[in-house]
Chains A and B, each alone.
Chain A
Amino acid sequence: MQLTRTRVGISRKAIAAGIATALLIGGIGSISAEAATKKPAAKPAAKPAAKPAVAKELNEFLNPTCPAKPTTLTIASAVILENPGGKADQNNADEFMKKCPNVTVKFIGIPSNNLPEKLTTMAIGGNLPDMYMHFTSFTGKALSMRIFEDLIPLLGQDYVDGFDPLFLSEAIQNGKLLWAPWVGIPSAVLYRKDLWEKAGNPAFPKTWDEFLAVAKKLTIDKDGDGKIDQYGWALCGLPNGSCAGRFNLVVLNSGAYPLKAADAGGFVTGLDKPGYITALDLFRNAVKEGQSVVPPGFTSTGYPEASAQLATGKAVMMTTGPHSMGIIVTANPELKGKLAAFPLPTANGQKPITTLGQHGYAISRNSKNKDVAVQYIKFMLSTKQILVYNDLEYRLPSRLKAQKDPAVASGMAAGFVNALKGEIWSDSTASYLGSITNQQIIDFSDALQGVKSSKDIQDASVKAVKKLIADNA
């Protein structure tokens, strides 16, 4: 299956030109450049002479230009509510306010699963904050509502070229930079090294069947009281967007896909592929009564609960990004150094597919403080500041210079960074992507219930998604 990174409405020439330009100035050596499915154009042998002071300033930017009068910069953020990630967001604000005492940074905390709805409401009400957090799944809606400011003229092409091209390929749409990428969380299978060793160091599963077999091996009665107290897989079964994302990873690695741009224009779904049944069967079989490899209460288990299951040793594996390690180590500091990751299994031995899982900050088109917002973005993306977030939650920085820091790709994060060597999937930009996600939520919930057959679930899903595509054509 060939993944396409080209979206409807964007000329391929524009993307290729943008990526080639980024590489000429940004340089090769980023972690993701070698992993991207679309290999960027080769760097020319003779690089133009760099201007050291400007290059340093582009990446460090620790002395922002402060506004002349007192300004309040409002930022809608999901990260500010998270622990420990919120400390990075707050740190950026605190440090910026020290540099510019006449600026007050005010966060509007919105849980990530509610962010699209809340931003939509704010946009309709005409009261979007100066900056808002952007996840790739929101791209279609942002394009449809036209709520963002193009950041290329605001940040400057030189600055934009300092981003990892992989991040830019999702953030640039129709030649415009919709948001300033901050960090990414490539997905893999996170596991407890200590519990893995206790189980005899089984080989990393390459297929979903092997994954289920390993999970069964890891599902044991630790204390001999006749009750299972360690499960193989912390499955995220709560009917929300973040669990749907994890289900989607299984779908992608089973040979199916939710939605992608069709070659002839429009969008097409791959939920009718046999791989979708494979994914549904995996979920169904993982929770089969009497043979479950998943802790009970999986329909109430969201991403924080699943992370807690790993932290407490209730489960051993979890499909997630490196940020879960931040939560786990915060909950159980003894686990520092005892977590690692391996690539996602696949249904038929194909190259594993992962997602970049990036987010960043966009500037609202109607913001009256765009200059201050630009200064804030450049400040928070400086190497020193961006590595605070990486240190807390192991998230991959978007800036090429920050990625060179040895801590970024080593230790517990290595497995996640290596996941980028596989295929990378990007969300489609259809404005109704949320509806597709909702359908997938219904599908994996049905699979977990075990009442309907996977074929029936697939048939109903394909019918609903095709109707969505037709209604929105």
Chain B
Amino acid sequence: MKSAFAKRESRSGYFFTGPAALLMLGLVVYPLLYGFFISTQKTNLIDTWKFVGFKYYRQLLTDPAFFATLKTTGLFAFCVVLGNLCVGLLLAVIVNQKIPLANFFKVILMLPWLFPEVVVALIWKWLFNPLFGLLAHVLMITNVTKVEYDLLGKESSAFAGVVFVCVWKGYPIVMLMMLAGMKSIPQERYEAASIDGANKWQQFTNVTFPALTPIILVSAILETAWWFKHFTVIWLMTAGGPSGSTKVVSIDIYMQAFTDFNFGKAAAESVIVLIILMSVSFIYYKVLRDETE
């Protein structure tokens, strides 16, 4: 039986955690539940509410166009995450060396992450502009192309263009996390490897990379979640075009809500995306736990 003191302690625990719990309920749980509620309604969110059950889920899960959008989104997230990890890791390895002006380069390399996404999208959209952009001009004067190249206007290259810009924007945070991870690797391991005759590449594969694995996995989880639901850069650069080649699920949700005026269906799509991301996070978490154990 609990003493009076223990009872007071447990009550005071609720008292101290209460505000945080209320905040969580209000800012996280309530919007999730409300979003799910909207997904079961045919509504204009003003004065028209009609319960339709799981109609929109059925429509989405039997719509090939939705699966095509999911495929584009998955491919986009995969390419950007892979790009960020590779570029971030590579640059982290380089700036971690004892090179002149290393700190200066670290600052410069962080700049893309500091720019707002809107600014990044508009700058690159201008650089890719076929009439006035730098890329088209360089391709013309180097005779790579004979006419102005419209990178964002072609189905074949628009996807690569938005992936490139997102990698340009996203690698710094990965680089920062890798750098932090590298700083925690004891120097003695490298000395031991060096004594054993390992070259730089062998030191990287046998010392650096294994030590960074947990950080790589955490970065991959966070990056996948961020880029799977990305909207801003793609919307500003291509609005999902040309011909739907860059239409990711977040753009589809936006258009369902504000163009098709179908808030219920947009909410259903959001719930499906949530389930997908939770599943991906769970898989990553299991892998990470196994690695740690």
Per-position 1/0 for B117-150, Cβ under 8 A of A:
0000000000001110000100000000001101
Q: Interface readout for B256-269 with A: 1 if CB under 8 Å, 0 if not?
A: 00111110000000
Q: Any chain A CB within 8 A of the CB of B6?
A: no
For A435-451 the 0/1 string (1 means CB < 8 A from B) is 10110011001101101
Partner of B239, one of A116, A124, A239, A437: A239
Instruction: Kindly identify, within residues 228 to 245 of chain B, every residue whose CB is under 8 Å from any CB belonging to chain A.
Output: 239-244
CB-defined contacts of A298 to chain B, threshold 8 Å? 150, 153
The answer to whether the Cβ of B152 comes within 8 Å of any Cβ in the partner chain is: yes
Nearest CB of A to B38, in Å: 11
Residues of A within 8 A of B7 (CB): none
| B 40-53 binary contact with A (CB < 8 Å = 1; else 0) | 00001111100000
Of B46, B147, B153, B258, the residue contacting A299 (CB under 8 A) is: B153
Nearest-CB residue, chain B, relative to A147: B46
Take A299-B242, A445-B243, A449-B242 as given contacts and tell me if A146 and B150 are in contact as well, using a CB distance cutoff of 8 Å: no
Is the beta-carbon distance between B242 and A435 smaller than 8 angstroms?
no
CB < 8 Å neighbour of B154 from A145, A146, A438, A449 = A449
Q: Report chain A residues within 8 Å CB of B46.
A: 123-124, 145-147
Bound form: Cα–Cα A146–B44 in Å:
10
- Chain B positions within 8 Å of A144 at CB level: 44, 48, 261
The answer to whether the Cβ of A95 comes within 8 Å of any Cβ in the partner chain is: no
- Contact status A442-B155, CB under 8 Å: no
CA–CA, A441 and B242, complex, Å: 10
Whether B255 is near chain A, meaning CB under 8 Å from some CB there, is yes
> For the complex, what is the distance from the CA of A163 to the CA of B52, rounded to whole Å?
43
Q: Nearest B residue to A290 by beta-carbon distance?
A: B147
- Which A residues lie within 8 Å of B130 (CB)? 296-297, 300
Taking A145-B46, A434-B261 as contacts, is the C-beta distance between A296 and B147 under 8 angstroms? yes
Bound-state Cα–Cα, A141 to B46, Å: 12
Query: Does A285 reach chain B (CB closer than 8 Å)?
Result: no
A240 at the interface (CB under 8 A from B): yes
Of all chain B residues, the one with the shortest Cβ separation from A434 is B259
* B contact residues around A438 at 8 Å (CB): 255, 259-260
Chain B window 48-64, contacts with chain A (Cβ cutoff 8 Å), 1 for yes, 0 for no: 10000000000000000
| Contact B244–A442 (Cβ < 8 Å) | yes
Does A65 lie at the interface of the complex (its beta carbon under 8 Å from any beta carbon of B)?
no
Contact A117 to B129, CB < 8 A, known contacts A124-B45, A299-B242, A446-B243? no
Which of B242, B255, B258 contacts A445, CB < 8 Å?
A: B242
Q: Of all chain A residues, which has the CB nearest B146?
A: A227
Residues on A with beta carbons closer than 8 Å to the beta carbon of B129? 297, 300
Given contacts A124-B45, A124-B46, A445-B242, contact A296 B150 (CB under 8 A): yes
User: In the assembly, what is the distance between CA of A339 and CA of B46, in Å?
Assistant: 47
B152, A299: Cβ atoms closer than 8 Å: yes
Q: Does A120 contact B (CB under 8 A)?
A: yes
- B242 partner, pick from A239, A240, A468, beta carbons under 8 A: A239
Q: Which residues of A contact B150 (CB under 8 A)?
A: 296-300
Task: Give Cα A434 to B261, complex, Å.
Answer: 8
Contact B148 A296 (CB under 8 A): yes
B263 to chain A, nearest CB (A): 8
Q: With A297-B130, A438-B255 known to touch, is A432 a contact of B260 (CB < 8 Å)?
A: yes
Roughly how many angstroms separate A237 CA and B147 CA in the complex, as a whole number?
18
**Could you give, for residues 156-176 of chain B, a 1 whenever the CB lies within 8 Å of some chain A CB and a 0 otherwise?**
000000000000000000000
- CB proximity of A116 to chain B, nearest CB, Å: 7
Bound together, the chains give a CA A146 to CA B47 distance in angstroms of 9
**Residues of chain A from 353 to 395 with CB closer than 8 A to chain B in the complex:** none
Residues of B within 8 A of A322 (CB): none
In the assembled complex, A348 has its CB within 8 A of some CB on chain B: no
A431 contacts the other chain (CB 8 A): yes
Question: Do the beta carbons of B243 and A442 come within 8 Å of each other?
Answer: yes
**Complex Cα–Cα for A434 and B262 (A):** 11
- Measured between alpha carbons, how far is A251 from B241 in the docked complex, in Å? 21
Nearest CB of chain B from residue A239's CB, rounded to whole Å: 4
Residue in chain A with minimal CB distance to B155 = A449
A121 within 8 A of B: yes
Q: A296-B147, A297-B150, A445-B242 are in contact. Are A145 and B44 (CB under 8 A)?
A: yes
A213 CB to closest chain B CB (Å) equals 23
With a cutoff of 8 Å between Cβ atoms, the chain B residues found around residue A442 in the complex are: 241, 243-244
Q: How long is the Cα–Cα vector from A300 to B245 in the complex, in angstroms?
A: 15
B272 to chain A, nearest CB (A): 18
Partner among A237, A297, A435 whose Cβ is within 8 Å of the Cβ of B259:
A435
| Docked pose: A116 CA to B261 CA in angstroms | 10
Residues on A with beta carbons closer than 8 Å to the beta carbon of B258: 116-117, 120-121
In the assembled complex, which residues on chain B have CB atoms less than 8 Å from the CB atom of A117? Answer: 258-259
- Over the window 112-148 of chain A, the binary record of Cβ atoms lying under 8 Å from chain B Cβ atoms (1 yes, 0 no) is 0000110011011000000000000000010011110
B47 proximity list for chain A (CB < 8 A): 146
**Contact indicator B261/A120 (Cβ below 8 Å):** yes
- What does the 1/0 interface line of A275-313 toward B look like (CB < 8 Å)? 000000000000000000001111110000000000000
Q: Does the CB pair B241–A445 fall under 8 Å?
A: yes
Q: Is the CB of B259 within 8 A of A296?
A: no
Q: Which residues of A contact B45 (CB under 8 A)?
A: 124
Chain B residues with Cβ under 8 A from A297's Cβ?
129-131, 136, 148, 150, 153
How many angstroms from the CA of A284 to the CA of B45 in the assembled complex? 40
Listed by A's residue number, 13 A-B pairs whose Cβ atoms lie within 8 Å are: A116-B259, A240-B239, A297-B131, A298-B150, A299-B150, A299-B153, A300-B129, A432-B260, A438-B260, A442-B244, A445-B241, A449-B155, A451-B243
Q: 18 more A-B contacts (CB under 8 A) besides A296-B148, A297-B129, A434-B261?
A: A117-B259, A144-B44, A144-B48, A239-B240, A239-B241, A240-B239, A297-B130, A297-B136, A297-B150, A297-B153, A432-B261, A437-B259, A438-B255, A442-B241, A445-B241, A445-B242, A452-B243, A468-B260
Which 6 pairs between the two chains have the least Cβ-Cβ distance?
A299-B153, A297-B130, A117-B258, A296-B148, A435-B260, A297-B131
